[in-house]
Structure 1
Amino acid sequence: MGSDIATGWSTLTPIPNSELKSEGEAGLKGEYFSNNIFKGEPEFTRVDSIINFVWTPKRPINDLKSDNFSVRWTGALKPTESGAYRIGLKASSFAKLFINDSLYFEFSAEYEPKTKYFDTVLENDKSYNIKIEYNNVLSDPQAHLLWAKLDEDLITPAIEAVNKADVAILFLGLSPEIEGEEMEVKLKGFDKGDRSEISLPKNQIELMKKVHATGKPTIVVLMNGSALAVNWAAENVPAILEAWYPGEFGGKAIADVLFGDYNPGGKLPVTFYKSVTDLPGFKDYNMENRTYKYFKGDPLFPFGHGLSYSNFEYSNLKIADQVTLKDAINVSVEIKNISKVAGDDVVQIYLTHLDKQEQNAIRTLVSFDRVHLAAGETKTLNYKLDAEQYAWVSSKGKKILEPGKCIAKCRR
């Protein structure tokens, strides 16, 4: 509901059993073989209500002593609604999809599961014979028969739902299906899985603006594997939660944070830039203006940024005026929880060398510590930075300890 991940990339979901038929039952007939070439009689036959399997760690055939097995599914696709659809198959190893006895595609996925799809028009008074052949030889067997209805109005029902709600929680971001390496992705803003733009896809921005325009309190939850330039959200949405790709218990973790049952204390492990113009091109390997160490601009959210339901105050940062190259640098700082909520903060110590002979990092994170403080509590933290931590690496790859001025900063 709301929008697709990106224009031209419909979110594929398992075809429900209400749309599949086999021998009078809902679903497809599955014939399971204990070899990967459909040899001999199947070990067993059953009707699978939906084709949405990940056979890890348990294989579909009991006592199977290898990863070699195959499954043939047959039946009919009988859509309850006419319209334009995208039909897809996601699988590991080797797979084929037949519709009305015609091979629509076959593929091999030797390193990770692959998704293939085609667009077609289906009519609700017709039956389409379907056959899937899946041959597994790998250790992560899986197969999924998927679809999406195209040209569907996703925003209107989303806005209707928002108008009935007290708060709108928008889950926005990307997908491992479209961001990665060497992927068959042809979308604006993506180059074979690499990112040629770093903003949210435009259709998601449109949804966010329309939800915000309802006047309902809005929270944005980001689900992504790389930094996003969420400039409009940062200026207009009161709360943004970065969830990344959180795994099976992600929903519970997100709910715990949003309902206040857990006070977050995490920090960004990367810089969130405002625009792709802040970054060098793909083919430029120079470190100038890259990462928090070298970036001279104003980021949207800096490396190490992160808020919680607590507020903290830093004071009395102390460092020796002068040390020799053999000495450790002792740093101390006080942190106080000035809120009424117990919470964690991550104290971060950065060093900047001012007298380097070579161009080098503008700042370097040399130490950090996650600290829990009760409401009103104050703690003094002490850090001992040895020579390894304030050495720098030359263009010849050698660690160098160089005399000169150095600035220490404490950041949260």
Structure 2
Amino acid sequence: MKKIHALFLLCAIVGISAFTLRPEEEYAYPFQDPSLTVEARVNDLVSRLTLEEKVAQMLNAAPAIDRLGIPSYDWWNEVLHGVARTPYKVTVFPQAIGMAATFDTTSLQQMADFSALEGRAIYNKAIADGKGGQRYVGLTYWTPNINIFRDPRWGRGQETYGEDPFLTAMLGRAFVRGLQGDDPKYLKAAACAKHYAVHSGPEPERHVFNATATPYDLWDTYLPAFEELVVNAKVAGVMCAYNAYKGQPCCGSDELMNDILRNQWQFTGYVTSDCWAIDDFFKNHKTHPDAASASADAVMHGTDIDCGTDAYKALVQAVKNSQITERMIDVSVKRLFTIRFRLGMFDPAAMVAYAQTPLSVLESAPHKAHSLKMAQQSMVLLKNDKNTLPLRKNLKKIAVVGPNADNAIAVLGNYNGTPSEIVTALQGIKNKVGAGTQVVYERASTFTRDTLLVYTNIAPQLSFEGKPGVKAEYFNNKDLKGSPVAARQEAGINNFWQEGETVVGSMKAYNFSARYTTDFTASATGSIMLEVEGDDGYRISVDGKEQLNAWERNRWGARNFKLNTTQGQKYRIVLEYYQDGGKASVALRAGNFAKTDFKALANRIKDADAIIYVGGISPQLEGEEMKVNEPGFNGGDRTSILLPKVQTDLMKELKATGKPVVFVMMTGSAIAIPWEAQNLPAIVNAWYGGQSAGTAIADVLFGDYNPAGRLPVTFYKSDQDLPGFGDYSMENRTYRYFKGQPLYGFGHGLSYTTFTYDKLELPNNAKPNSKVRVSVRVTNSGKMDGEEVVQLYVTRQADGFRTPVRALKGFERIALKRGESKVVDFELRPQDLALIAGDGTTKHVPGNVTISVGGSQPNAQTRKSKKTVEGTLALK
């Protein structure tokens, strides 16, 4: 082997892949030679590592190995609905639950492809800038979330593809294929199926609870999507969950990890723990005495990365204690380097087509257009009595009311990036109707309260040492330690950064802190409310007395306090803030609370031709392990699925005006709206629609887009319809097992046109373990072009077997011009007609199967109106 030269050493030190710079024929080690197989290169590389070096590579932030020219790499990245948490402006698509409502695998695969391109561009730029080892610039994305949304109270359900295993599996497969690409040698990006496997809240208990599920529920509900992604989509990674399953932490589960994932499914990719999950072994689940035993057990169960902590550093001692062998550690390290080699990280850039992706693909025109398309596709028209919608564009006056009408945070969902432009519902409506229509806006209330903080501009009242504004000091640590790296005067406090974005000078938004000092001069004697909003930790004092202390992770937390004032007096305000990963934001606002008089508001806008109420909930209330102090919410989850009462009260007053009230509901989960469903003429479910949400909403409201979204979850009537949140049995859960009557069923969604079904064709009989072809003719029988989601459901019963009421086994979204017909073909796989036995095994059993095809679940009404057709297949 030739001696490594100076250029190689220099590149290794600064973190640039030397393999992109050195002539192809000159390699210091076999692992650098692209002509060798990945297996041979990985074996060679790992053979050269010390035990300590191997263990360090098993942390999410893997350090550089300078002596071999191995650059550092952070595995932690997110691409739930567009590249997340990057310092660059990127395309933000609808939240995952909204994309599920499209029932369109082609659109989802295209979205994943576009997102992978944007991620590649960011990675390539990071490499070029010598920053390839930073978090949120890598190519290993911890998406998709394919947990089953079994309970609408779960705040992270918005990240999933809904409650149905088949829909989740097909959409997840499309996402993986789009993200990972189809290059025969290189991955475009690496997807990761999470959270394996029986995991869906409650959020406040996720580090301690022990989920139990019958073998039937495990294989009928919780595992099918994971099996599809591992076995058929060849997903690169899997993330194991925080919680325990049958008494063992998921990342150390004999059944889930060893028996099913590695042995039955023959998964050869990498597994990462959820972040801080290994610490849960010995700190929360109490199944292990210390980090060494927990880490050894996790690795022996196939968990290759310890995310978020350094528990795995104890593996060095565990080897010395004979708790695990170094050969077992080699297995994990080889899996990790295999992924990095498959991503082309150790090959010359000229060999990897994806390495040529330029930064110009970020927010490119095709990407933004597709974000709008998916937002349009996601809109679900729940109700439309007497053709209230679409509205006319030439109305003289429209009132837009509600807490989500102009809420840019809500449309972005969670695990999101930041686009250059966000269109809220209010802006979308204004853009649509133009100057000829007066659009008035009233926020009216918060999501849960009828009292609003009416803000006032206090910037003219802020000064420091005779200069207007605020003294801002920034520290390159989380603890305000040492001297600030920068100090400057700012006009006020209202800052937002994505992680890694420049804060000031060369300091980036990553684990930093700030201190803001100013003197507030009161303009009047009385009182004023000061409100602080921060994404992580903050505390504020006035004249040395602490007023608020949220010096802990407090995502999107806003709190306020009253300051009694004397006219002309100065009050020294000190606001301190730290960021702990992810987005960074801190703001200081002021105003006074005022209770909204709903009757007076309704009277002010009663001359409007139409009232559009934009409400629902928000990722400010539901999400991952959040601190939320609002009625109906707890820890990121909901304690009630009912629409907050304050919103219903307001809509009652709006309805009393006699003007048509259209309810546009934003949500990441099912909301019970019994009064609205009974009393309002039109309801649109708009989810968290991404950067173009407002445009898509307006397109639907005014008829420029004919809605065809379908519910990927059941909308129940009340909390009484739900079993206990912590109960993981599927009994009476989701449309497959629910025994009651939902408000709006899974698969429901209306159109401005009508569709009819006929000419169902299927064989009279088939062998139990065989494929079955089904076809149906769909006709657009209405007066408007439109799209239809054709859904195929299977219903069967068999002695000795538990079976769903019905189960989705096929779907296709099609476009039909008015009067046009199309034959839609389905191919049912053997497993689609199989039964799951009580022990979880799959059985191919003779018997009759009812096959229903239509635009929604079959019922008496849809059969009568020819919106559903049915046939019987005999398996024998």
TM-score normalised over the length of structure 1:
0.89
Task: Tell me the distance in 1 between the aligned counterparts of 2:603 and 2:497.
Answer: 35
Alpha-carbon separation, structure 1, partners of 2:589 and 2:472:
16
Alignment of 1:169-184 (within 5 A): 169-180=612-623, 182-184=625-627
Question: Percent identical across equivalent pairs?
Answer: 35
The answer to whether structure 1 residue 87 and structure 2 residue 528 are counterparts is: no
Corresponding residue for residue 274 of structure 1: 717
Q: Which residue of 2 aligns with 1:337?
A: 780
Q: Is residue 222 from structure 1 mapped to residue 665 from structure 2 by the alignment? A: yes
Contact 1:97 1:130 (C-alpha < 8 Å) held by counterparts: yes
Q: Is the 8 A contact 2:668 2:687 kept in 1?
A: yes
1:13, CA displacement in angstroms? 8.7
Q: In the superposition, relative to structure 1, how do residues 378 and 178 fare at CA in structure 2: closer, same or farther (>3 Å)?
A: same
Secondary structure of the residue that 1:405 maps to in structure 2? strand
SS of 1:30 mapped into structure 2: strand
Q: How many residues align?
A: 409
- The whole-number CA distance in structure 2 between the counterparts of 1:381 and 1:225 is 31
* TM-fit CA distance, 1:403: 1.4
Amino acid at match of 2:546: L
Residue 444 (structure 2) pairs with residue 2 (structure 1): yes
- Greater mean deviation of Cα atoms: 229-238 or 183-192: 183-192
Say which is worse superposed, 401-410 or 184-193, in terms of deviation: 184-193
**Gap regions ≥5 residues in structure 2:** 1-442, 856-876
Per mean C-alpha deviation after superposition, the further-off stretch among 382-391 and 275-284 is 275-284
- For 2:799 and 2:589, locate their aligned partners in 1 and report how far apart those are by CA, in whole Å: 57
Alpha carbons 1:319, 1:329 under 8 Å: kept: yes
Letter in 2 for 1:398: T
Work out whether 1:22 is the aligned partner of 2:470. Answer: no
Correspondence for 2:825 among 382, 385, 388: 382
Check conservation: 2:474, 2:512, Cα contact below 8 A.
yes
Alpha-carbon shift at residue 335 of structure 1 (Å): 0.8
* Deviation at residue 396 of structure 1 after TM alignment: 2.1
- Residue 282 (structure 1) shift: 1.9
Higher-strand-fraction structure: 1
| Secondary structure in structure 2 of the residue aligned to 1:60 | strand
Pair 1:325 & 2:780 matched: no
- Report the alpha carbon displacement of residue 78 of structure 1 after superposing the two structures with TM: 5.5
Alpha-carbon spacing, 1:404–1:122, altered in 2? closer, same or farther (3 Å): farther
In structure 2, the residue matched to 1:263 is: 706
Give the one of 782, 786, 792 matched to 1:349: 792
After superposition, give the CA deviation of every residue in 1:241-262 in whole Å (9 maximum; x if it has no partner): 1111223322222122212222
8 A contact 1:3–1:155 mirrored in 2: no
CA contact (8 A) 1:348 1:368 kept: yes
Across the aligned residues of Structure 1 and Structure 2, the Cα RMSD in angstroms comes to 2.8
The aligned counterpart of 2:160 is none
Any conservation in 1 of the 2:610–2:659 contact (CA below 8 Å)? yes
Between 354-363 and 382-391, the greater mean CA deviation after superposition:
354-363
The structure with more helix, counted as a fraction of residues: 2
1:115 pairs with one of 552, 557, 561: 557
Change (3 A) 1:209 1:19: farther
Counterpart selection for 1:133 from 573, 576, 597: 576
| Shift, 1:189, TM fit | 3.0
Q: Do the aligned partners of residues 370 and 145 (structure 1) sit closer, same or farther apart at CA in structure 2, a change above 3 Å counting?
A: same
Q: Which among 687, 690, 696 is matched to residue 253 of structure 1?
A: 696
- Which residue number corresponds to residue 114 of structure 2? none
Letter in 2 for 1:90: G
Tell me if structure 2 keeps the 8 A contact 1:14–1:52: no
* Contact kept in structure 2, 1:33 and 1:44, CA below 8 Å: no
C-alpha deviation, 1:294, in angstroms? 0.6
Distance change (3 Å), C-alpha of 1:86 and 1:64: closer
CA distance in 2, matches of 1:255, 1:124: 47
Q: Does 1:231 align with 2:674?
A: yes
1:208 pairs with 2:651: yes
Q: Secondary structure at the match of 2:716?
A: coil
CA distance in 2, matches of 1:406, 1:308: 30
1:391 offset after TM fit, Å? 1.9
Q: Distance in 2 between matches of 1:40 and 1:107?
A: 23
Per the TM alignment, residue 373 of structure 1 is displaced from its structure 2 partner at its CA by: 0.5
Deviations 1:272-326 (A, max 9, x none): 0111111112233321110011112111100011112222112222322211113
- Rounded to whole Å, the distance in 2 between the matches of 1:222 and 1:363 is 28
Which has the larger displacement, 79-88 or 168-177? 79-88
Greater shift in the superposed pair: 156-165 or 321-330: 156-165
Moved more, 146-155 or 360-369: 146-155
Q: Please tell me whether the aligned partners of residues 7 and 203 of structure 1 are also in contact (alpha carbons under 8 angstroms).
A: yes
Return 319-328 or 150-159, whichever deviates more.
Answer: 150-159
Q: Distance in 2 between matches of 1:80 and 1:224?
A: 40
Tell me, yes or no, if the aligned pair for 1:16 and 1:50 is still in contact at 8 Å.
no
Cα deviation code 1:4-34 (max 9, x no counterpart): 21138x6679874547512467643322344
Displacement of 1:265 in angstroms is 1.4
Contact 2:453/2:593 (<8 A) preserved:
no
Matches within 5 A, 1:65-80: 67-77=510-520
Q: What is the CA-CA distance between 1:233 and the residue it aligns to?
A: 1.2
Stretch moving more, 318-327 or 370-379: 318-327
* 1:303 paired residue number: 746
Letter in 1 for 2:654: V
Show the counterpart of 1:165: 608
1:315 corresponds to 2:758: yes
2:812 pairs with 1:369: yes
In structure 1, the partner of 2:737 is 294
Report the alpha carbon displacement of residue 371 of structure 1 after superposing the two structures with TM.
Answer: 0.3
Q: 1:385 to 1:401 in 2, by over 3 A?
A: same
SS at match of 1:150: strand
Deviations 1:379-399 (A, max 9, x none): 111111010222233332222
| TM-score normalised by structure 2 residue count | 0.44
**Is the Cα contact below 8 Å between 1:311 and 1:337 reproduced in 2?**
yes
* Contact kept in structure 1, 2:664 and 2:685, CA below 8 Å: yes
Query: CA 1:194/1:41 → structure 2, altered by over 3 Å: closer, same or farther?
Result: closer
| CA shift for structure 1 position 343 | 1.2
Instruction: Quote how far apart the aligned CAs of 1:124 are.
Output: 7.6
Cα offset, 1:120, TM superposition: 2.4
CA shift, 1:340, in A, is 2.3
Quote the Cα distance in structure 2 between the aligned partners of 1:142 and 1:196: 28
Amino acid at match of 2:575: I
1:365 Cα deviation from its structure 2 partner: 0.4
